[in-house]
A and B are shown apart, each in its own frame.
Chain A
Amino acid sequence: MAEYKLTTPLSDDDIIKLKAGDKVLLSGVVYTARDAAHMRIVESIKKGEELPFDPKGQVIYYVGPSPARPGKPIGSAGPTTSYRMNPFAPILIELGQKGMIGKGKMSDEVKEACVKYKACYFASIGGAAAVVGKAVKKAEIIAYPELGPEAVRRLEVEDMPLFVCYDAHGNDLYEIAKKEWANKL
């Protein structure tokens, strides 16, 4: 398993070299969106409206951070459970989104979209939110402020530690790891 430093936006070449189980330290801009923001973004796509950001080459972090204390860019900011974004991820991947950051399983449709359009699902450690939040250097709300924690934020991150979970070759880290460690007690 390899370790890579990547900076967004990501290209097809960045994605193709990644294998499930690789570690990535991600830097650059990532956008936050959860359930409510995805519903609105996909609604806007259907209506042909302008989106809060162009998904091409971008990474979306599934997170609803806790409020920032004065002088800090963000509060705790660990990943939320990704399967709730199953209906939306393939639509955005088709539009050029290159990565999702979250925790937990996603659907076969998401896996297939990762292969077809060269994208990658990165797993972060759920509940390690104070540590993950420290990788965020800057945060600003760019859309849907009325959604509170679910507003779309533009984050600048530095060396955010991630695991490649679904790669562009159809591999699934959760399945690989589970098989390796089953019946070992």
Chain B
Amino acid sequence: MSEIRNVSVKDIEEAIYKLALDAAYHIPEDILEAEKKAYENEKSETAKKVLETIFENIQVSSEEEFPLCQDTGLGIIFMEVGQDVHFTDGYIIDAINNGVERAYKDGYLRKSSCHPLTRANYGNNLPAIVHTFVVPGNKVKLIFDAKGGGSESMSKVQMLKPADGRAGIVQTVVDWMIQAGPNPCPPTIVGVGIGGDFERAAVMAKHATLRHVGQPSDDPELADMEQEILTKINNSGIGPAGLGGLTTALAVHIEMQPCHIATLPLAINTACHVNRHKEIEL
């Protein structure tokens, strides 16, 4: 057991503020590397041109602090809290929301949260969506994911039958991504959650999009499925921006956990080619 540690929520607010700004302007290194590798392997001239525009965008965005995409997303936070952490100086969720609100205002980021029915814009990009996990120890890990609406809309949860099995999962993910086509801003990172229950599958799928791009699953069977799905998606010909080519997805990442004997939950969450996320441990 670690010692009980006080963590001020003011430090959390400041961390979220910095992560949100960093995510909006600066692409994660691993994604840029994967896109450069894709560029080398690409045979379509149009696809190469699209990737060149994407590289130019990454540079302009970083140098001039223009957001990578005008849709700067809702703030999704994966928070791992050590069970020996004691938060001080206020309520943790308020602190996270304050950090998001300040970053979106100060950074000239788009406020995209609205009333689901009237569609009235709240003007502050709140609330942030926080997934909390209690873990051993006395540290706090924060992952900030700026999730845009275009790729998020090309997501789904489907309760398969146990008999659908591995083949059914592969087919469902491939068919879905081919049907999504140019909509989620390819080349994408495809997050897949298998098992758990209805909502856990969805959380796993989103979490999977945040893995270091192209790092295979530790489970050899899942790593094999990831490769099979990736090859099938990239054989669709959809290509970068949907304008044709060999690079429709940069990676497929699967997370899995046990499920009920009667169920086979499957979730698919797509991340677009900017896949903005940053993390810190406090």
Binding site for B on A (CB under 8 A): 35-36, 39, 63-69, 75-78, 80-81, 83, 103-105, 123, 125-131, 133-134, 146-150, 161, 163, 173-174, 176-185
**In the complex the two chains form, is B53's CB within 8 Å of A76's CB?**
no
Could you jot down 11 A-B contacts, CB within 8 Å? A65-B110, A76-B61, A76-B70, A80-B150, A103-B182, A126-B182, A129-B66, A130-B68, A177-B237, A177-B239, A184-B246
Chain A residues near B153 (CB-CB < 8 A): 81
Q: What is the chain B residue whose CB lies nearest that of A83?
A: B183
Q: What is the chain B residue whose CB lies nearest that of A151?
A: B121
**In the complex the two chains form, is B243's CB within 8 Å of A130's CB?**
no
**Docked CA distance A173–B181 (Å):** 12
Interface of B is mostly: loop
Select A185's contact among B64, B111, B123, B235, beta carbons within 8 Å. B235
Q: What is the chain A residue whose CB lies nearest that of B109?
A: A66
Select B181's contact among A104, A125, A147, beta carbons within 8 Å. A104
Select A125's contact among B64, B183, B241, beta carbons within 8 Å. B241
**Docked CA distance A163–B242 (Å):** 11
Q: A80-B71, A184-B246, A185-B235 are in contact. List 4 more A-B contacts (CB 8 A).
A: A64-B110, A103-B185, A125-B50, A177-B242
Q: Is B28 an interface residue (CB 8 A)?
A: no
**In the complex the two chains form, is B246's CB within 8 Å of A123's CB?**
no
**In the complex the two chains form, is B239's CB within 8 Å of A66's CB?**
no
Select A130's contact among B57, B239, B245, beta carbons within 8 Å. B57
A75-B108, A174-B181 given as contacts; is B66 within 8 A of A123 (CB)? no
Chain A residues near B235 (CB-CB < 8 A): 182-185
**In the complex the two chains form, is B241's CB within 8 Å of A149's CB?**
no
**Docked CA distance A133–B236 (Å):** 30
B200 to chain A, nearest CB (A): 27
A16 to chain B, nearest CB (A): 23
Q: What is the chain A residue whose CB lies nearest that of B64?
A: A130
Q: Is B69 an interface residue (CB 8 A)?
A: yes
Chain A residues near B50 (CB-CB < 8 A): 125
Select A126's contact among B67, B236, B272, beta carbons within 8 Å. B272
Chain B residues near A63 (CB-CB < 8 A): 70
0/1 string, B231-256, CB within 8 A of A gives 1: 10011111101111110000000000
